[in-house]
Structure 1
């Protein structure tokens, strides 16, 4: 996109045809003010006395690929589409594991073995070889599932209240002392019933499977955030007056928990000791570890009549919500989920998206086996594929697993993987969010506390060396109907606060930080495909690197289509792709990405990032503006400037303070800019389409105009040049 002059808006398809034709060169245009009226004067001061980060853009800036609906991998990952994706300038790649979010086992290789091959069921281990390249892979749903809700398409259901006494939930055997080599009191399993409103409870009826609990507690609690169950500090749960069960029996059990009903939203069954009995026809020890429960009924006994308030149904929207501590990864051949697919590992490593660089590679953990993970990495090594960081599982916070249970499984997987390749750098947990707890409660909840307990668990086992990076996702805004301009203005400070809280809880830079996915929201919103999305993405990258971050991966690399969600429509995506898989045009985040990866930064080599302050004439800090200065390996000083004010433009002077001197840019000075002068969406809330869709402008500033640069409202600007020494 260098060397083509586009001064007026043109219809989207024509503009995109021109871009494709000149993929390597920018359009040239003159900077223009986005509004009538006087611009405010600001001064950006770059402090060159302290480098806050050194990074190579080829490593630090990347994008993510993920599982999608059936048929999407072939459409999205055509050679033509991959060429356009790569033109965004991202070089590193991370592979996301949708199966882990959907409570599924990942058959990363369709060839493998069952522990019960005669019936094609049991525990699955993919082969470490394949006669053909792996183009697609699939998840398999869990017939012993306990969770009502998952973090993928949420189409499964809990077997605890599905109305079928023959189905059952079973806890994960890898959390039993047989595998953890520590007492089961450290990994007590649990079931939580979440009622929509408070219910009167004084009795439970339980239909136990095999194995059953011989010792357990029935408890109640009231709190606001269901994610608190992953931490459950002392005092959060209260035993029912008759809720302590010893000498528990198998089969059907009616428990009278209190003489009078207790009104509560949450009931927990805390499982303390197992019968360790299994099916008579099974020789697999995993079948007799943990707990199995067929159905739960909860309510009141009135005049010797039990009234159940649980809704029993095999429809996720019609059953009472259940949450469990873990789920057994046992499954059958018939449990394949063909409506969703993961792109095959061979396909990803061979289609050019990795750019020959190490890919951050996942292994299944929460619903998988260590042997399956070992064979996956053995397969990749045998094919000479480049990877170094391995992410263990994904979004355990979304499954409400305790940090100690995740830690126990993490160490089992780490031992198995390092036995094959001691050089692997393992990490995770790829939190779905890291917002700090600001409720002021006595016990601080949130994922920073989760991480403190997880790291403490590793430290107690003298295994901190097995943890090599901290990963999380960054989608800060769930309410897509709120003011976008207010959200955009606060986003970077939210990231700062969240990571500061993590550091206070022990997640220091000893463990490199990775944003495994970032986007404006995990839900569809217009901001994701508007100029606000381009600003947000650039600000995330700049602030994260300033805070010492190591790698950040954009989510929405491939083409897709807008999705309507509540009051808006959008999607995390760089391109609009039609139903035939052809990319028709880019959205603003694509051009924002190119501005960051190809104008602000060089393609590779160590870049030095410095701090900058933005002040107006009264020396007041202006948080609505962001400035990220880098000293590039080619000797140029390049400053990324982000104006998050939707109305106000600014006239900017930039100064470099070094060694007691104040330096400025020499001329000619390059300026690249992206604003409403280049991109505008139509006003159709349900069908947003760009009506102006030009690349960033490119301007050469001379001595007369280099000292006062116009930053239009809602804009990205890059200034790039050499410093004038001696003035």
Structure 2
């Protein structure tokens, strides 16, 4: 008998499943995969051991996509170590790997670009711009592959360089030391917006900033009679001299634009120029420079020994691909079409399975204009289809599905919409055979993690809606080419929240009509401190490694991947609408539900309790009726896992597999522990 005056317990809310399928049928061996990326020095040998491969394959993520870290590092990729230089006498120029090498390809490297223009990159960020490095012997040069000779257009699009000062400063003079080829026609401009993404911002040419008869050389250009206060400064280059440096023999040396050093400031009454640009050979020593493109010319001495990519022969021989086709990349931003064609001929010569070729890696994050990337995309699609017309080209692996242009005027702020429009205008939209983007919901891993988990669901739905509005064709596969809690490391990723957000991104992708999702952080790793102390030590990883890089502990992301791919999805099936009424105090879903019907008629429901402290009892109903018999349950939560924080030596203090039990017929209440993943499988009445 209850206490006098006590209210009866509230009935358990019902998670209802609608029998009407949503979206097409999917196969698990296509829908849930993982990415293999570039690594730091020694990482390839450390990863590709029988022990690690066996552990990784246990996660149940079957297909693999090969990620190209060299592209993010602004480096040319020698996917093969045998090949030819365009200038073999000096071991420099443009590289093409051999499509029939004598030795197996086990490890490959990226090569730094000595004509680099960007201060910042998306990889190790240890390179720097040659525009303001203080060295008169170096120079930035734009990509020759944006010249009309390669694009086939009657008129080439402009190229540009931008310097972002530390703060707004008075500017009335530019100091430009041109290299070859120089700009005959250009404009020097300043940005009027309050920040880089101000929709009302515009580039305004300085009063004396337009030059129509440039002669190259080095000197000062007076831009205005009175200084203009500005932070963002741009050279817009519209006509090249098409001149090459002395002794140059390659036609590409005369294509594009080249600048040796660039400064801005004011000229005093005594005629002295006062430069406000910081010049130095390092990313923290110079003013931030960003460029429209970079020439992939490089030398043998430019090899980056600190960044490795797994060789194709090692990748396919290891077993990590499960014998399935691999999504293959080519370096469209910092490579040559000739090298890409050789890569694909090599793969076909070896008989390695692949059907999809991804062009580019995060071009939006590297601030290349969408229209310029469309020009490069079309060129690389041509060489892919020349090797094999049946291959599907796709991309561009956006760093985020919602991608806005940077420091660009006009009403159209969407990088994706502008890219799609540029392909369509060239009659090349059919070359977009699949569309890829990345999903890392949060940059910041401090604060209320539970609230962040609950908001993730709406965020991915908003991304799909934005891509639809941007004009991404609905009749091609949409693929999340990388996903995880954050692109930055933090303790939450290696605890139960990491498993919850990963499982939901993959399941939600399918429910929204995506074809599949590839988890990032597949290889064993160790927890590091990233950024602020409040994020804790962590890393994108499903397995924690020992000091020798060998998998030692299975983290929640590993158990979540197994539950997703094996216990929930099984062989695959069709998604069903699932409705959860369990809300948190802020009105967001406390419990998310994803259901599917398998080919054998059974129904599997994935239930994610995103609350850090509250258990939720629920009932299940299919078409308004409870399950027809016993419910098979797999559950993983705080009872199976606990993390012991200890800096880089942190590891699980409790590391058990999910529990499995049967909810007998007639017992319809299923209890969902706080921060837990549950899979319930039953046969409807």
Aligned with 2:423 (options 435, 454, 458):
458
1:535 is matched with which residue?
500
1:720 aligns with 2:658: no
Q: Do the aligned partners of residues 547 and 442 (structure 1) sit closer, same or farther apart at CA in structure 2, a change above 3 Å counting?
A: farther
Matches within 5 A, 1:313-462: 313-435=280-402, 449-462=414-427
1:610 is matched with which residue?
576
2:247 is matched with which residue?
281
2:546 is matched with which residue?
578
1:708 is matched with which residue?
669
- Structure 1: unaligned runs, 5 residues or longer: 1-36
Q: Do the aligned partners of residues 696 and 462 (structure 1) sit closer, same or farther apart at CA in structure 2, a change above 3 Å counting?
A: same
Deviation at residue 80 of structure 1 after TM alignment: 1.0
Matches within 5 A, 1:132-171: 132-171=103-142
Matches within 5 A, 1:248-327: 248-303=214-269, 304-327=271-294
In the alignment, the residues of structure 1 paired with residue 388 and residue 501 of structure 2 have an alpha-carbon distance, to the nearest angstrom, of 39
Q: Is this contact kept in 1: 2:384–2:393, CA < 8 A? A: no
Deviation at residue 316 of structure 1 after TM alignment: 1.1
Q: Is this contact kept in 2: 1:613–1:621, CA < 8 A? A: no
1:125 is matched with which residue?
96
Deviation at residue 345 of structure 1 after TM alignment: 0.7
Q: Is this contact kept in 1: 2:193–2:201, CA < 8 A? A: no
1:217 is matched with which residue?
187
1:85 aligns with 2:56: yes
1:3 is matched with which residue?
none
Q: Is this contact kept in 1: 2:356–2:391, CA < 8 A? A: yes
2:207 is matched with which residue?
241
Deviation at residue 89 of structure 1 after TM alignment: 0.4
Q: Is this contact kept in 2: 1:436–1:497, CA < 8 A? A: no
Q: Is this contact kept in 2: 1:53–1:546, CA < 8 A? A: no
Cα deviation 1:535-580 (Å, max 9, x = unaligned): 0011111111100011200001110100101222100001111121
Secondary structure of the 2:18 match is strand
Secondary structure of the 2:679 match is strand
1:113 is matched with which residue?
84
Deviation at residue 621 of structure 1 after TM alignment: 7.9
Cα deviation 1:486-517 (Å, max 9, x = unaligned): 21111121111111111011114222111111
- What is the CA RMSD across the aligned residues, in angstroms? 2.1
Aligned with 1:647 (options 607, 613, 633):
613
In the alignment, the residues of structure 1 paired with residue 355 and residue 266 of structure 2 have an alpha-carbon distance, to the nearest angstrom, of 56
Aligned with 1:672 (options 624, 629, 634):
634
Q: Do the aligned partners of residues 45 and 224 (structure 1) sit closer, same or farther apart at CA in structure 2, a change above 3 Å counting?
A: farther
Secondary structure of the 1:496 match is helix
Q: Is this contact kept in 1: 2:403–2:415, CA < 8 A? A: no
Deviation at residue 704 of structure 1 after TM alignment: 3.8
Normalised by the length of structure 2, the TM-score is 0.95
In the alignment, the residues of structure 2 paired with residue 702 and residue 44 of structure 1 have an alpha-carbon distance, to the nearest angstrom, of 18
Larger mean CA deviation between 114-123 and 647-656 belongs to 647-656
Deviation at residue 224 of structure 1 after TM alignment: 5.9
Aligned with 1:191 (options 145, 161, 175):
161
In the alignment, the residues of structure 1 paired with residue 448 and residue 365 of structure 2 have an alpha-carbon distance, to the nearest angstrom, of 26
1:634 aligns with 2:605: no
Q: Is this contact kept in 1: 2:602–2:681, CA < 8 A? A: yes
Matches within 5 A, 1:486-501: 486-501=451-466
Deviation at residue 234 of structure 1 after TM alignment: 9.6
Matches within 5 A, 1:687-706: 687-705=649-667
Deviation at residue 302 of structure 1 after TM alignment: 1.4
In the alignment, the residues of structure 2 paired with residue 508 and residue 215 of structure 1 have an alpha-carbon distance, to the nearest angstrom, of 38
Normalised by the length of structure 1, the TM-score is 0.89
1:47 is matched with which residue?
18
In the alignment, the residues of structure 1 paired with residue 311 and residue 141 of structure 2 have an alpha-carbon distance, to the nearest angstrom, of 30
Cα deviation 1:98-153 (Å, max 9, x = unaligned): 00000000000000000100001000011111112110000000000000000000
Q: Is this contact kept in 1: 2:20–2:577, CA < 8 A? A: no
Q: Is this contact kept in 1: 2:200–2:409, CA < 8 A? A: no
2:3 is matched with which residue?
none
1:521 is matched with which residue?
486
2:522 is matched with which residue?
557
In the alignment, the residues of structure 2 paired with residue 452 and residue 695 of structure 1 have an alpha-carbon distance, to the nearest angstrom, of 45
In the alignment, the residues of structure 2 paired with residue 635 and residue 444 of structure 1 have an alpha-carbon distance, to the nearest angstrom, of 50
Deviation at residue 262 of structure 1 after TM alignment: 0.9
Aligned with 2:513 (options 536, 543, 548):
548
Deviation at residue 50 of structure 1 after TM alignment: 3.5
Cα deviation 1:613-659 (Å, max 9, x = unaligned): 112599x98622111111112322111011111122111111112xx
In the alignment, the residues of structure 2 paired with residue 505 and residue 340 of structure 1 have an alpha-carbon distance, to the nearest angstrom, of 35
Alignment coverage as a number of residue pairs: 672
Q: Do the aligned partners of residues 435 and 338 (structure 1) sit closer, same or farther apart at CA in structure 2, a change above 3 Å counting?
A: same
Q: Do the aligned partners of residues 674 and 49 (structure 1) sit closer, same or farther apart at CA in structure 2, a change above 3 Å counting?
A: same
1:100 is matched with which residue?
71
In the alignment, the residues of structure 2 paired with residue 616 and residue 595 of structure 1 have an alpha-carbon distance, to the nearest angstrom, of 22
In the alignment, the residues of structure 1 paired with residue 583 and residue 504 of structure 2 have an alpha-carbon distance, to the nearest angstrom, of 24
1:203 is matched with which residue?
173
